[in-house]
């Protein structure tokens, strides 16, 4: 079992006790710096990071392999990576980049293959002068999404 497989197994076992948390990313550098990024259906609190850090520390032997460890929550500006993250953010505004365009819109629906975004825009009337507000909806397959970031709006 490789070092990364060992760390991942420890994480999966520990997170089975906290079903609302999930792993976004685990990286291990060539110098054995372990970086764990967590997210949760209800967010991640500091105690969650502490618990996961202790779990890893207590189940790896530094005599066998010396390592450094960093456990953090997925930040506000961290791009969405997992389907579970998209589900968690339904109703929030996302900035979605595709190969063709960048769209800032509300995440309305999520399926296993795509997301549906909606937004309103002012555009020229088809008949007459002036502008009208038009509702737009767009379904984007995950395969076309280059990056999706939650936009924080302060009201």
pLDDT of residue 47: 94
pLDDT band at 130 (very low <50, low <70, confident <90, very high): confident
If phi > 0 it is left, if psi is from -120 to 50 it is alpha, else beta; for residue 27 that is: beta
Query: Residues of the chain with pLDDT > 90: what percent?
Result: 75
Secondary structure of the chain in HEC code, one letter for each residue = CCHHHHHHHHHHHHHCCCCCEEEEEEEECCCCEEEEEEEEECECCHHHHHHHHHHHHHHCCCCCCCCEEEEEECCCCCCCCCHHHHHHCCCCEEEEEECCCEEEEEEEEECCCEEEEEEEEEEECCCCCCEEEEEEEEEEEHHHEEEEEECCCCC
pLDDT of residue 123: 87
pLDDT in tens, 136-150: 999 999 999 999 999
pLDDT of residue 128: 82
91, β-bridge pairs: none
pLDDT of residue 30: 93
pLDDT band at 80 (very low <50, low <70, confident <90, very high): very high
Taking alpha carbons only, the member of 27, 31, 29, 30 closest to residue 72 is 27
pLDDT band at 125 (very low <50, low <70, confident <90, very high): confident
pLDDT of residue 71: 94
How far is the CA of 89 from the CAs of 35, 116, 150, in angstroms? 24, 12, 8
């Amino acid at each position: 079992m490789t070092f990364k497989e060992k760390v991942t197994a420890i994480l999966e076992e520990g997170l089975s006790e906290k079903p609302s948390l999930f792993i976004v990313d685990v990286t291990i550098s060539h110098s054995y710096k372990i970086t764990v990024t967590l997210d949760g259906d209800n967010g991640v609190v500091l105690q969650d990071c502490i618990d996961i850090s202790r779990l890893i520390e207590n189940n790896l032997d530094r005599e066998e392999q010396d390592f450094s460890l960093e456990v953090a929550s997925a930040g506000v500006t961290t791009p969405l990576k997992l389907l579970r993250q998209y589900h968690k953010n339904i109703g929030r505004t996302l900035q979605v980049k595709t190969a063709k365009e960048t769209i800032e819109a509300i995440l309305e629906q999520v399926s296993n293959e795509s997301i549906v975004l909606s937004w309103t825009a002012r555009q020229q009337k088809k008949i007459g002068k002036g502008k009208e507000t038009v509702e737009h909806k767009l379904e984007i397959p995950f395969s076309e999404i280059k990056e999706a970031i939650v936009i924080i709006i302060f009201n």
